[in-house]
Chains A and B, each alone.
Chain A
Amino acid sequence: MKHYDVIVVGGGHAGCEAAHAATRMGAITALVTMKRDDLGVMSCNPAIGGLGKGHLVREIDALDGVMGRVADLAGIQFRLLNRRKGPAVQGPRAQIDRSLYKAHMRTEMESLPILDLLEGEVAELLFENSKLVGVGLTDNAAIYGKTVVLTTGTFLGGTVHIGDKRYPAGRMGSKSSIRLAAQIRDLFPRMGRLKTGTPPRLDGKTINWEVLESQPGDDVPTYFSFLTNSTSTEQVSCGITHTNGETHDIIRENLDRSAMYGGHIEGTGPRYCPSIEDKVVRFSDKSSHQVFLEPEGLSTDVVYPNGISTSLPEDVQESYVSTLKGLDNVRIIQPGYAIEYDYCDPTTLSRTLEHRDQEGLFLAGQINGTTGYEEAAAQGLVSGLNAAAKALSKDTVTFLRSDSYIGVMLDDLTTRSVTEPYRMFTSRAEFRLRLRADNADQRLTEFGKLAGCVGEARWTVFAEKKSKLDSAKAIMENKTYSSKELEGFGISVKNDGKKRSTFDLLSFPNIEFPDLLEIQPELSSVEFHVREQIERDAMYANYLVRQERDAEALQRDEQRAIPVDMDYESLSGLSGELRSKLVRVRPASLGQAARIEGMTPAALTLILSVLKRSEAERRA
């Protein structure tokens, strides 16, 4: 019988990325999912990327993952969000053709020689003498392997709600994962319920597009992958409409029929992605809400109305949707619904996403309390790399808050846990000016190469780009000019006795690359895209020095490791609340401990003194 290094359960965004990453590490991998057709299914909105999320996709790509490349191939409208703002807060986003995404993802996965794609429903984890040895399917087949990655998304104990109707399902049209849920709840006491919702799908042929505002993509698309230069997929526009007083009246009148407001759902939903019921109740002074009408693809008429997710009964959905401008005669193809599912408190996981109480078991994606394809994929990547590393006895692959959004997310999840579905935002990253979408490759590709997950093709492209950047920067930093000399070139800077390089000059808001050519004519050979990248790198130079210092301070605290068996119970002087948080989170370092909510300097000092004492004892 085949014995796998890594078994991935689930073929969603986390699952695909995990399996792909594991094979890049050289692990013999199986991906088991309910249906082969699951690969690359987007359960909710037909879009990938955005602020924070786009950063994650770039980082996955920098580590040679799949999501960015597949999204580029399936993208039907590309927009760089915050284009007018600084590069650190720009995020690439694209509308995606669902069926193209699935098709390209499937091709991508099927092309991996050491990956087996298996169809089936996993019913249980299999143990031998409490050692995890594989998974058992509902048809009683067993799959054996060294490590298991669970990426079951919204399927664990999933319940769909539409008004007062409810039934078990993993998402519309898929069955819920019930047997596995029962076992997991049994094994791990710290499970909880979360919920999320999706809007009704509309028939685009019945929308009066003529009367609607339209939002086109960017003229020059910004792709996700560092490897994509162009695509041939046709591009489309989205429509924009608004809710109005009439819409809100209907919703208000029927609130008691909403699954959420009728008290049928116990799970917590995301504040930043509220249902239309929520918006009408919580922001009652707002007379209108914007709704984007997003085409779900080139070969379908289905339209996704972004902004009106709901758990009202179908008849109410029918009547309120038709009050929106341009939707008078709209036909609903599939009603909106809410879904409630089990998640696992992520503070039970280590930073590799391995469960602390079950060696060899990794968890990634929605099951960890996150929401979103990108968040799921990024965790999939981390779990895949580490499950492979474990199976192949390689070093773990971990990320820091100061090196990536991936690191920020892992740290947030494993340190603070979640109270609502966790979504990435750029404001979660305190090192935002360093962690840009545009420099994800400069931050991570070399790291990935060392970890063993970056292939030759990508490395060649990156190495060439890097050498061009380096040599251009070398020219620029090679010479410095006094303010007097610069005056001669028509550039006025503060006369503070400082000599500046042309790279330094780029951090001034009014100076751009072409302005430097007069000073250093040899720069005229620098290619356009290299110039652009250098401009972005230089722009924050003054701030980066400061962030660098902060990052170092953080690293110092991060390096002060706290042993996993640290005995918090015996630390007198800790408040009961902090003690239970520390016991729950089991921070791996002093830095992580500091970020636990409600942590006090006093408690940190206490932990630090214990660490120092035990260090001293060890030395003695």
Chain B
Amino acid sequence: MAKQITTEDIKRIARLANINLSPEELETFTAQIGDILAYVDKLSQLDTKGAVFKSQTDLSNIFREDIVEESLSSDKATQNRPKSSKKGYIAIKSVLNK
């Protein structure tokens, strides 16, 4: 039995996902996500007793050897980021403003 999705649930999910929703959007998504979950809930009718968790692929144990490869240059690594007054760093608005 799926739990009824409320606007509070959607608010929380939006907050965790760092998304701002307008009151209208909140309305819309509450209804839409509720419908989607109700539809997906059909899956719970399946008898999954004895089923084994399968991954997305039949592959397993794909590793790399512990070998150092060349990294990007600092210029290249930071080229699409805001310019920083501190050399080599990526600068953003302080996250300590609370």
- Whether A and B are associated in the same complex: the answer reads no
Interface residues of B (CB under 8 A from A): none
* Residues of chain A whose beta carbon lies under 8 Å from any beta carbon of chain B: none
